[in-house]
Amino acid sequence: MKQYLDLEDIKDLDSLIKNGITLKNNPFNHQELGRNKTIGLLFFNSSLRTRLSTQKAAQNLGMNVMTLDLNTDSWKLEFENGSIMHSTKAEHIKEAAAVISQYVDIIGLRAFPTLTDKEQDQKETILKSFQKYASVPVVNMESATAHPLQALTDAITIAEHSLVKKPKVVLSWAPHPKALPHAVPNSFAKVMQMMDVDFCITHPKGYELNSEITKNTPIIYNQDEALEKADFVYAKNWSSYAEYGKVLSKDQEWMINLKKLNNAKFMHCLPVRRNVIVADEVLDSDLSLVIQQANNRTYAAQAVLKEILENI
Amino acid sequence: MKQYLDLEDIKDLDSLIKNGITLKNNPFNHQELGRNKTIGLLFFNSSLRTRLSTQKAAQNLGMNVMTLDLNTDSWKLEFENGSIMHSTKAEHIKEAAAVISQYVDIIGLRAFPTLTDKEQDQKETILKSFQKYASVPVVNMESATAHPLQALTDAITIAEHSLVKKPKVVLSWAPHPKALPHAVPNSFAKVMQMMDVDFCITHPKGYELNSEITKNTPIIYNQDEALEKADFVYAKNWSSYAEYGKVLSKDQEWMINLKKLNNAKFMHCLPVRRNVIVADEVLDSDLSLVIQQANNRTYAAQAVLKEILENI
Amino acid sequence: MKQYLDLEDIKDLDSLIKNGITLKNNPFNHQELGRNKTIGLLFFNSSLRTRLSTQKAAQNLGMNVMTLDLNTDSWKLEFENGSIMHSTKAEHIKEAAAVISQYVDIIGLRAFPTLTDKEQDQKETILKSFQKYASVPVVNMESATAHPLQALTDAITIAEHSLVKKPKVVLSWAPHPKALPHAVPNSFAKVMQMMDVDFCITHPKGYELNSEITKNTPIIYNQDEALEKADFVYAKNWSSYAEYGKVLSKDQEWMINLKKLNNAKFMHCLPVRRNVIVADEVLDSDLSLVIQQANNRTYAAQAVLKEILENI
């Protein structure tokens, strides 16, 4: 692996999942690999799990970590080519990415979508600009349309907890007061298509994800029907993709409760709004995997960083 | 020691003080203890001494350090059980504490009081919630009502500088333009009760601290009388506890000067407002211990972290 | 070297430049030097290159790094002696510098000028106060009037890329929408006076730098005439020094393009506003050294830190 911008950068998902589980059992076995290597974690947006778990993963591998909050520690960046930079943006991505590349061996990047400019979000301007102008590998710590470290985490978690050869996995939309990105459901849909699972998506009409991503994944508008005999229920809110960034429904009927779950395992990427996305009774039960999922963030990141370090 | 929420977690104060002094002489002697261990320092409020000294203490012990500013780096946390989280708080403490516990081996937590909601402050909601839902030891880096790392620092400093077997120690209220917390005077009063000292408190009427903490400590309303023959004078402002969070007096007569100090040693936890709390002539004299006190913050934290690491 | 406040702290520039280049080839050769040593990086202002490159330099030397953003992580500092601190400033520099000195072995400090109070800026109040009250070496990471780490970087870069024994170096003012400090041009002028180069400065009338710094450096008001036969062109905007902090001109005729450059190497400290300070065609050509310059920031800092560590 030479970078990790999206799931397409994975050559062999099964082996990457196995590496993650191996690293979980022996996290400190490869510290020579990261010795005198530095990862720079660049945040355009706030983060708890990603910040801590990626830092932990890098430290487990013996790396140094430098974090930079691009909204507070540094200047605003210009991403347009040819622009005359006489307004508020003090540095061009061309210089920023090239310069940072000289201080670090791997760049981790966190940059959310606008949710107002569909075209710009789809182009992944920030992520792709860093990839283009950086001279070191870039790792996506959630971008406008993808969260591949979360998806790898989710794949590891399902591999660990599946009791059957081909589990049924349901991605269910759930209500939320604010407009949320598509990065997590997009990447989860992608990674499920790469695994040997029976996968479907359920959401209210109007919440169809980008069809280039969901492809031939069954979409079932009736949540009860979709959840039938599920082994894993992955709840997540997202805003409309067609009416880009809009909140079309806050229908609490879509909240996951124990009855709906019906002995399936519950998954969510966190942070999760209790009693909005999912009832307390689910999160506080043994059916919830959300804490184990968050733990796997470290080992997903560590598996990716290890492969990249081996290719530097 | 399995946690350090408050002074009650200390089993043997004398031996902890001695450990602190031993670590001060040989700070790097126990680096194997912290190898591949990580402390997560979580800040709800700004901090200079606590942030740097706790980080230094952890690094002296060979630990990795991850800091997280919970107001800027992350989301707002919900602490109420059973709440329907549809407003501004994106994550519940149940998930946050459980998740962070998986990335770190010890959690350090800084969370000031509201000074407006007495009941909530007394309940130590943030600190106790982290303790309840975290699966790793929690260290109090100043909470709503207690600052036990500062108190241990103060105990070490008095032990180092006392010329007599049972010194007289006076905690004196001093004026300040803003309403300040009770954490420092509370914890100082507690730790003095645990040491073999002649301890009293002096303040204007209306500034009585929580009597469950001061217990039978003499309270002397006449500052001159209280300071007589003192060996150590610890100055500190706090707001009223009875009229919760109110500033009842800014009487500059209570400011400590050389005449009042009368050859006693001067202590303060810092930051200190010069010529409001204490005159320049005191801070700039050899009677002031405030810089040595701040230095001991590192070794107080290191003594606590060392004991916790030995019990993990 | 016992500190690095300004270029006067360099005893032998040639040997420091050589050390920088040696460290660039073997950055990890001196890790025992920094073992159990800590640098505290204090930022009053935002920073990208300085923050990351100084951190990298320290880590290359085996040091621990603690960063503190003094505007967000901590309290406001008082710098006046004898003041009665009853307003917004909660801590005096006397305590802050003395305390931080106990947690770190070297202090790195970043503090920009006001550009409104000439006298205060010229006095270098923040930098000099830290130097006065700190008990450990202070390194200037850009102050009100000087940026000596950048200047050393620039000297290393010219030494590396010069094809002739005594190159012609031109510092050219360039337009910019906002008022900028004099720190970079001041320090560049100083370091060029210390090297065996043919150095001149060009700028519109009214943009004369402090004559105590430029001394007998030729000032040529006609940019074309100044740039003739240049080997290195260093572009930089600064505000007026006489009419302190004022923007007297935004004349785009002063922007550097390929025709003006005429095969000279192009230098800038970054961040640079494209098509305002310099045309895309220059930055995107092989004549631009700005990325190599930024890389040398690490090794300039590392050469300075190494010398200071050897003298602790």
Smallest CA–CA distance from B42 into chain A, residue:
A48
Using the structure block, give the residue that is written with the tokens 């009293």: B200
B208 labeled binding residue:
no
Q: Assess if residue C1 is contained within a domain.
A: no
Q: What is the CATH number of the domain that holds B47?
A: 3.40.50.1370
Structural domain contains residue B242: yes
Check whether residue C287 and residue C178 sit in a common domain. yes
pLDDT at site C294: 98
Best interface-test mutation with C: which of A43, A68, A85 has the largest number of C CBs within 10 A?
A85
| The predicted structure's pLDDT at residue B158 | 98
pLDDT in tens, B100-146: 999 999 999 999 999 999 999 999 999 999 999 999 999 999 999 99
Which chain C residues are within 8 Å of A78, Cβ to Cβ? 274
Measure C95 CA to nearest chain A CA, in Å: 26
Q: Is residue A229 part of a domain?
A: yes
> For residue B38, what is the nearest residue in chain A, using CA coordinates?
A56
Which residues of chain A are under the pLDDT cut of 70? 72-74
Tell me the mean pLDDT in the region B155-164. Answer: 98
Instruction: Give B-chain residues touching A69 at CB under 8 angstroms.
Output: 72-73
Q: Do A294 and B84 touch (CB under 8 A)?
A: no
Residues C17 and C135 in one domain: yes
Chain C residue with Cα closest to B290 = C95
- Same domain membership, residue C202 and residue C74: no
Query: Structural domain of residue B198, as residue ranges?
Result: 148-293
pLDDT of residue A259: 98
Q: Is residue C2 part of a domain?
A: no
- Residue A2 domain flag: no
**Do A12 and A139 lie in a common domain?**
yes
Q: Do B156 and B286 fall within a single domain?
A: yes
CB contact under 8 A, A85 and C298: no
A–B: how many Cβ contacts below 8 A?
86
Flag whether pLDDT at B241 surpasses 80.
yes
A94/A116 same-domain check: yes
Per-residue pLDDT of chain C (312 residues; tens, 9 = 90+): 999 999 999 999 999 999 999 999 999 999 999 999 999 999 998 888 999 999 999 999 999 999 998 876 667 899 999 999 998 899 999 999 999 999 999 999 999 999 999 999 999 999 999 999 999 999 999 999 999 999 999 999 999 999 999 999 999 999 999 999 999 999 999 999 999 999 999 999 999 999 999 999 999 999 999 999 999 999 999 999 999 999 999 999 999 999 999 999 999 999 999 999 999 999 999 999 999 999 999 999 999 999 999 999
- Mean pLDDT within B45-51: 89
Are residues A93 and A28 located together in one domain of the fold? yes
Written as one string, the DSSP assignment of chain A is ---BSSGGG-S-HHHHHHHHHHHHH-TTTTHHHHTT-EEEEEESS--SHHHHHHHHHHHHTT-EEEEEETTTTSPPEE-STT----SS--EEHHHHHHHHHHH-SEEEEE----SS-HHHHHHTHHHHHHHHH-SS-EEESS-SS--HHHHHHHHHHHHHH--SSS-EEEEEE---SS---SHHHHHHHHHHHHSSSEEEEE--TT-PPPHHHHTT--EES-HHHHHTT-SEEEEE----TTTTT------GGGSB-HHHHTTPEEE--S---BTTTB-HHHHTSTTB-HHHHHHHHHHHHHHHHHHHHHT-
CA atoms within 13 A on the CB side of A1: 25
Closest in C59, C283, C295 to A64, CB measured: C59
Decide if C72 and A75 are in contact by the 8 Å CB cutoff. Answer: no
Same domain, A187 and A244: yes
> Which among C246, C200, C239, C197 has a CA at the least distance from the CA of C223?
C200
Nearest-CA residue of chain B relative to A275?
B84
* Helix, strand counts (H, E) of chain B: 13, 11
Per CB distance under 8 Å, which residues of C are interface residues toward A? 27-28, 43, 46-49, 51-53, 55-56, 59-60, 69, 72, 177, 270-276, 280, 283-284, 290-291, 294-295, 298
Q: What is the pLDDT of residue A74?
A: 67
Q: What pLDDT digit, counting tens, does each position of A87-100 carry?
A: 889 999 999 999 99
Interface touch B85/A49, C-beta < 8 Å: no
The Cα B258–Cα B193 span in angstroms is: 27
Look at residue A1 and tell me if it is in a domain: no
Q: Is C127 helix (H, G, I), strand (E, B) or coil?
A: helix
Residue in chain B nearest A65 by alpha carbon: B66
Number of Cβ within a 10 Å radius of residue C49: 27
Q: Residue C150 annotated as binding?
A: yes
| Claim to verify: residue B281 and residue B155 sit in the same structural domain | yes
Q: How confident is the model at residue B74 (pLDDT cuts 50, 70, 90)?
A: low
The span from the CA of C166 to the CA of A164, in Å, is 76
- Do A157 and A135 lie in one domain? The reply is no
Residue A111 lies in a domain: yes
Q: How many Å lie between the alpha carbon of B272 and the closest alpha carbon of chain C?
A: 6
Q: Count of domains in chain C?
A: 2
- The interface predicted TM-score (ipTM) is 0.95
User: Is B1 within a domain?
Assistant: no
Q: For residues B135 and B15, state if they share a domain.
A: yes
| Residues A208, A132 share a domain | no
